[in-house]
Amino acid sequence: MLLDFDRLGPWKWVLITITTLVCLFLLLPIVFIAALSFGSSQWLIFPPPGWTTRWYGELFADPRWLQSAFTSLKIAAIVTVLSVGIGFLAALSLNRGSFAGREVLRALFLTPMILPVVVLAVALYAFFLRIGLNGTTLGFIIAHLLIALPFSIISIGSALEGFDKSIEDAAILCGASPWEARLRVTVPAISHGLFGAAVFSFLASWDEVVLAIFMASPTLQTLPVKIWATLRQDLTPVIAAASTLLILFTMLLMIIAALVRRGSKQGTKP
């Protein structure tokens, strides 16, 4: 290899230093938040003067926090199911279809990724105002589905790309109807892509804040919105506790995703 680590000589240490700094830059804010959530000061002082789990107690004692976490979970779960389902159908037609305007449609599906979220949020807000969807669960789901769908289409699309359609044809000649073949053969064969789509869709909704702020009402708030709103009212370490749990949950999902991906690779390669 051109850049062989063992042959870098003194440059090795430069590389190690830069790598360490980048890692610290990425990780320190998380460590900082986690430390604050266990700090005894109620003014978010760093380093914390003492240690306590009091803020976690307050967090779990407040029904509004639990309520918003449940709302987040519910919306993210529904968005995940819809995003994977619609994403599978969309990816299937983008991958297999030979209709006019296929590339235009593909680009259209991916625009929510490029469009500034705040632009999307304002547009949705104005539109939902007319049809009365602001502050409703359905409004949340539609908004989050918009930003989750591109992840699904990309993930499932690339899995389909690597799946030979002849395998599906073989299943059809074996007697399976086209949809039976897709469900019993194609879906299991691209399960890693579907799982990736599910994780990314869930996370896209779970930690989304901009659209959520526009969609939210005082009675319907997701966890990120609750954190945001609380942050503006009073700067309590409960926010740090909530944020830490949010991060932990996200990390857990990513770890599961990585494990599943490794498992599916071992299944297909000797």
Nearer to another protein, 47 or 175 (CB): 175
Phi then psi for residue 217, to 5 deg, are -125, 165
Shortest distance in whole angstroms from residue 84 CB to another protein: 18
DSSP for 197-219, written as a single string: HHHHHHHHHHT--HHHHHH-BTT
Structure tokens at 37: 């959530």
Shortest distance in whole angstroms from residue 156 CB to another protein: 16
State the residue for tokens 């399976």: 176
Nearer to another protein, 7 or 165 (CB): 165
Shortest distance in whole angstroms from residue 30 CB to another protein: 37
Outline where the chain has alpha helix (H): 11-37, 54-61, 63-96, 102-114, 117-131, 137-161, 165-173, 178-181, 187-189, 191-206, 210-215, 223-233, 237-268
Shortest distance in whole angstroms from residue 168 CB to another protein: 9
Structure tokens at 127: 């539109």
Nearer to another protein, 43 or 179 (CB): 179
- Spatial separation of the C-alpha atoms in residues 150 and 45, rounded to whole Å: 40
Shortest distance in whole angstroms from residue 259 CB to another protein: 18
Nearer to another protein, 53 or 177 (CB): 177
Q: What is the DSSP letter of 269?
A: -
Shortest distance in whole angstroms from residue 163 CB to another protein: 9
Shortest distance in whole angstroms from residue 105 CB to another protein: 22
Burial class (CB in 10 A: 0-12, 13-18, 19+), 78: middle
Nearer to another protein, 84 or 241 (CB): 84
**Three-class SS of residue 21?**
helix
- Spatial separation of the C-alpha atoms in residues 210 and 124, rounded to whole Å: 12
Residue 103: in which H helix or E strand, if any?
Answer: helix 102-114
- Spatial separation of the C-alpha atoms in residues 160 and 181, rounded to whole Å: 14
Nearer to another protein, 15 or 167 (CB): 167
Nearer to another protein, 166 or 219 (CB): 166
Binding site for another protein (CB under 8 A): 164, 166-167, 169-178, 180-181, 184-185, 188-189, 191, 267-270
